[in-house]
A and B are shown apart, each in its own frame.
Chain A
């Protein structure tokens, strides 16, 4: 089954995905201006994108290409954006390797709270020696172990998100009780990497379970994504490869006992307008290496690819990584989106509701509530 609506996310990392984007004069300094990020998110909101995303990592950049040598905390940065936007989803990356799952749970629930149901968590791991040395608590771990730990962290975080039932706060003056403590639950997780008693200190958030986003870049991540993710991001350079990747993810989701239609699969694509790309390429000696789809063309051409891959059922949508922000983002919003709307494959306005609603997900039943009913 194909998705009923094209989903488009847009990445706001750094100055853009092109290696030269941040090297233009004054750009590096501007990245620390909080109003800049708000302005970018508003541009994306004007383009009716499903969400904006920010990567985050305790690993120093691992690529040889020149890179911005700094980054702010993604969850806090998107919380800063939340009150200044209304509808757009806010996908924050937070890593599970060195951060306490208890902190992750309340931080992301609070992002969801301050955005009135627009928060989402992109799960990532820290692979490097450098990240381990910054914390000094454990040795660097192999990838399969990192993702096994991430799997446990997701279990803990999502249990904590359910550890308060929606109507736990009762404010019952007659009995003097603020809380119905039968509706607040210990999670009692015991695992190989950590044990967490619970409950959360933070009540259940507007979406209850903010969407989980995973980049299925390796078999370990793909496995966790199949079990846990609401949005899976894949790399693919051709439409056939995208379709194969989507089919494989859907199959794995089904094998994990979940409904494949509950998972939105997006192809990651760097994207550039020819005139903007030429300017950036001129600043950068070596042509960048693309591990996934690189979409460069006039607005008509770019829109055609997005539309055709979606219409053919090869993808549910894309995570677009603009060459430069704001320039390429503005071009996407002002030039590409209107064509997609003309083609009938993209929304003309936002529906009311949460990010989960936009992804076709219902507000989940609380697992602890369910357990009680069953018993």
Chain B
């Protein structure tokens, strides 16, 4: 007996404020106009995607003490854009990042319950943490949060928010206030009544990112969807197994958490055509100035005189600097001297200039090929449990997903691995998530629209 075909989950990531987004292409449109958001969300809905996603960062990035100006900078507020998009879309899920460090549970619970009502059950929250004092300078609490406390605070935050959402039954009378709540924990001490009746999904979909052990554990416990950067086959499988294996100890099934790595797709007329296009995009993504800034992050020095088409600097990185030269960007801690040594080896071996080297070391696996190749690869990866699907990050705003939607999606549908039409009304329906949530049988009442 053959295994049933696993259903792929697809999401669309609005191009963000890093160098994946190519703003310099003549086809690149506004990063801010509402029309750009409408176009991409509608394209994703035409492609029957599960959800549309907006990221957020609460401080503009800085490089060498100045606002970093080489990538896209600035964006509107996620939730407000999503609420507006609810008016111009009908089915697609609407997911946004909100920070657990610089928000409070009552207000956030109210905002997501509102979005879930306004969208008829399509809201999702990607919870992120940023304990750094750099971001804290924009907030009244400042950089108060110990790095060690970021996941405890996030976990307690999610618990409290769910407690608030649960103070209204889906069948509750709307003429009396919700059941009073009280929470006393190490991070929050709050009480009262919550003032939004139960939303269509009961609990808006919970998304989590974070690759550390703590991040994976938090996701296993609370998340419905986890983003990752493991879009390759082997690393994807390893991540998938690791995270899914953690679910049982929280009383959860393996299907209760969807693993959706971020991925890029380059679709060409032929495989060769796509490879050429992908190389061109990589060159656009790593501008000469961007390559130097990238090397400066490792070297910790001003390298503005460096020739991007020449070799790496002959001096070693400055390891004495205590403050990172780039701030406000997600970076994994690395030993600069070791990185410099490795880069020099690669660039000597392959004869690469600074710019070519940066392209080489920052290229992640991508789905590159004809529509048939891209569809087959994604399907094979998902069937082999390298992922449950992908959140696609287009490099061009707002048309970057058009070709995928129009050419790749139909093939995935023919293969029986992706929905031909939306089957339910809520995002939980699209993600095939269980309505019953441990500890609360009330969730069987949510999403009765099917």
Spell out A's residues near B (CB within 8 Å): 23, 28-29, 31-32, 34, 38, 58, 60, 68-73, 75-77, 79-84, 98-103, 106-107, 109-111, 113-114, 116, 130, 133-137, 164, 169, 171, 173, 175-181, 184, 193-203
**CA gap between A375 and B70 in the complex, in Å:** 28
Q: How far is the CB of B42 from chain A (nearest CB, A)?
A: 12
Q: Which of B172-180, B230-238, B244-252, B438-446 lies at the interface?
A: B172-180
Q: List 25 A-B contacts (CB under 8 A).
A: A29-B174, A34-B86, A38-B87, A58-B106, A69-B175, A69-B176, A69-B177, A73-B111, A76-B111, A77-B114, A79-B81, A80-B118, A99-B107, A106-B76, A106-B80, A169-B31, A176-B70, A178-B70, A179-B69, A181-B67, A195-B137, A197-B59, A199-B67, A201-B58, A202-B75
Q: Mark B47-64, 1 if CB is under 8 A from A, else 0.
A: 000000000111110000
Name the distance in Å between B316's Cβ and chain A's nearest Cβ. 26
Chain A binding surface SS class: mixed
Q: Contact mask B196-231 → A, CB, 8 Å, 1/0?
A: 110000000000000000000000000000000000
Known A-B contacts A58-B106, A69-B177, A110-B77; the reply to A136 vs B189 at CB < 8 A is yes
Say yes or no: A80-B24 contact (C-beta < 8 A), given A178-B72, A197-B137.
no
Known: A23-B175, A171-B24; 12 extra A-B contacts, CB below 8 A, are A31-B174, A34-B119, A60-B195, A69-B174, A70-B197, A79-B81, A83-B34, A113-B34, A114-B80, A133-B191, A169-B73, A202-B75
Residues of A within 8 A of B71 (CB): 178
Question: What is the distance, in angstroms, from A164's C-beta to the closest C-beta of chain B?
Answer: 7
B:22-47 near A, CB below 8 Å = 23-24, 31-34, 38
* A203 partner residues in chain B, CB cutoff 8 A: 32, 74
> What residues of chain A lie closer than 8 Å to B447, measured between beta carbons?
none
Alpha-carbon separation in the docked complex, A244 to B195 (Å): 38
Given contacts A60-B193, A73-B110, A136-B190, contact A84 B137 (CB under 8 A): no
**Which residues on the A side are within 8 Å of B56 (C-beta)?**
201
Q: Is the CB of B175 within 8 A of A180?
A: no
Per CB-CB distance, the 10 closest pairs between chain A and chain B, nearest first, are A194-B140, A176-B289, A110-B80, A114-B84, A197-B137, A79-B83, A28-B174, A136-B190, A76-B83, A110-B77
B117 at the interface (CB under 8 A from A): yes
Q: Considering the complex, give the chain A residue whose CB is closest to the CB of B137.
A: A197
Q: Counting CB contacts under 8 A, is B139 at the interface?
A: yes
Which residue of chain B has the shortest Cβ distance to A23 in the bound complex? B175
B410 CB-CB contact with A under 8 Å:
no
Report the minimum CB–CB distance from B286 to chain A (whole Å): 10
Q: What's the minimum C-beta distance from B165 to chain A, rounded to whole angstroms?
A: 13
Interface flag for B290 (CB, 8 Å): yes
Q: Is the CB of A199 within 8 A of B60?
A: yes
Residues of B within 8 A of A76 (CB): 79-80, 83, 111, 114-115, 118
Among B101-159, those with CB < 8 Å from A are 102-104, 106-107, 110-111, 113-115, 117-120, 137-140, 142
Closest to B102 in A: A100
User: B residues within 8 A CB of A134?
Assistant: 106, 190-192
A101 to B137, CA, bound (A): 12
Contact of A133 among B23, B118, B192 (CB under 8 A): B192
Q: Would A133 and B73 be within 8 Å (CB), given that A102-B138, A171-B23 are in contact?
A: no
A196-B139, A201-B57 given as contacts; is B24 within 8 A of A173 (CB)? Answer: yes
Instruction: Give the distance in Å from the alpha carbon of A179 to the alpha carbon of B72 in the complex.
Output: 8
The reply to whether the CB of B288 lies closer than 8 angstroms to some CB of chain A is yes
Answer whether residue B384 sits at the interface, using C-beta atoms and an 8 A cutoff.
no
- Bound-state Cα–Cα, A72 to B113, Å: 8
Q: Does B188 contact A (CB under 8 A)?
A: yes
Other-chain residue from A69, A71, A114, A197 in contact with B138 (beta carbon distance below 8 A): A197
Give Cα A71 to B178, complex, Å. 12
Instruction: Tell me the smallest distance from the CB of B35 to a CB of chain A, in Å.
Output: 10
Name the residue among A32, A84, A180 with the largest chain B CB count within 10 angstroms. Answer: A32
Contact B139 A102 (CB under 8 A): yes
Q: Known A32-B117, A77-B114; judge A71-B195 contact (CB<8 A).
A: yes
Say how far B102's CB is from chain A's closest CB, in angstroms: 7
Chain A neighbourhood of B117, CB < 8 A = 32, 34, 72
Q: Beyond A70-B174, A73-B114, A201-B60, is A179–B73 a contact (Cβ under 8 Å)?
A: yes
Chain A residues near B175 (CB, 8 Å)? Answer: 23, 28, 69
